[in-house]
């Protein structure tokens, strides 16, 4: 977790309002106008356009500040198509055996060059090499694997990528709520932040008792306050 908090210089709204709006937007399938309405119900007047600017400015910064678990040694990679301005693009995603998102990348194609680019980015992002790589039977994976990480065991089977496929579901939900993405860049920026923030507030609840879940969520909200700088401002006050 980064120790440096984002700068709020020049913003007239307090950090509590900004971080809360960004949290609402990334945690729940809400539009900017719906976030505006929910804040109004709490007595805070903020426009949907302001929420949009906060999402752009602080979303990725918050995501980078959140501590991600150390990647496991078994990676699952999968790709799914998304519509951007009516054109079909591909969202590449990799998760480890615990379902932790390792990286995502929006690309125009679903070929060997795209798979190679994603694998190289993945190795650079995680700064580690897996023991096992699990993919579906897309031939591009095999070609890219032999070129980028030939010493890693590659398991290719249609039914072995369920963990990565399940991770696409929250993205699909947000895609519908946002009525699609406007550009490849906008999709990449949103999904990069979303893949860092949303899982932080989605612990594996089915493995916890109610008390354990509440304790875990309290810890995660505390981390969020530290990352956004809310804790530092409250301490200074």
Q: Which domains does the chain have, with CATH numbers?
A: 15-67+203-236 (no CATH), 74-188 (3.30.420.10)
pTM of the model: 0.82
Q: What is the pLDDT of residue 58?
A: 96
Q: What is the pLDDT of residue 206?
A: 85
Stated as kind and residue range, the H or E segment containing 155 is: strand 153-156
Question: Residue 202: its pLDDT value, please?
Answer: 87
> For residue 209, what pLDDT band results from cuts at 50, 70 and 90?
very high
The answer to whether residues 140 and 114 touch, using CB atoms and an 8 Å cutoff, is: yes
**3-class SS shares of the chain: helix, strand, coil, % to 5:** 55, 15, 30
Contact 5, 227 (CB under 8 A): yes
Least confident of 35-39, 174-178, 182-186, 211-215: 174-178
Q: Does residue 29 come out as left (phi exceeding 0), alpha (psi in the -120 to 50 range) or beta?
A: beta
Give yes or no for residue 2 having a pLDDT over 50. Answer: no
Q: In a 3-state reduction of DSSP, which class is residue 39?
A: helix
Distance CA 104, CA 116 (A): 13
Question: Does residue 83 carry a pLDDT above 90?
Answer: no
Return the pLDDT at 38: 96
């Amino acid at each position: 977790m980064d120790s440096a908090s984002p700068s709020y210089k020049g913003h007239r709204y307090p950090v509590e309002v900004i971080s809360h709006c960004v949290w609402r937007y990334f945690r729940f399938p809400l539009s900017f106008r719906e976030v505006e309405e929910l804040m109004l119900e709490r007595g805070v007047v903020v426009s949907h356009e302001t929420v949009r600017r906060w999402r752009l400015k602080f979303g990725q910064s918050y995501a980078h500040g959140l501590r991600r678990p150390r990647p496991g040694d078994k990676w699952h990679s999968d790709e799914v198509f998304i519509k951007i301005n009516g054109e079909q693009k591909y969202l590449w995603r990799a998760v480890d055996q615990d379902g932790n998102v390792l990286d995502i990348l929006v690309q125009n194609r679903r070929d060997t060059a795209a798979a190679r680019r994603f694998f190289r980015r993945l190795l650079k992002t995680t700064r580690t090499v897996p023991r096992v790589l699990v993919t579906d039977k897309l031939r591009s994976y095999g070609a890219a694997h032999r070129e980028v990480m030939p010493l890693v065991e590659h398991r290719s089977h249609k039914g072995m990528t369920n963990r990565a496929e399940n991770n696409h579901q929250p993205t699909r939900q947000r895609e519908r709520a946002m009525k699609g993405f406007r550009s490849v860049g906008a999709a990449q920026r949103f999904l990069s932040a979303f893949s860092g923030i949303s899982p932080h507030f989605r612990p594996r609840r089915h493995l916890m008792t109610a008390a354990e879940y509440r304790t875990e969520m309290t810890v995660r909200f505390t981390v969020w306050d530290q990352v956004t700088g809310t804790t530092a401002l409250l301490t200074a006050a």
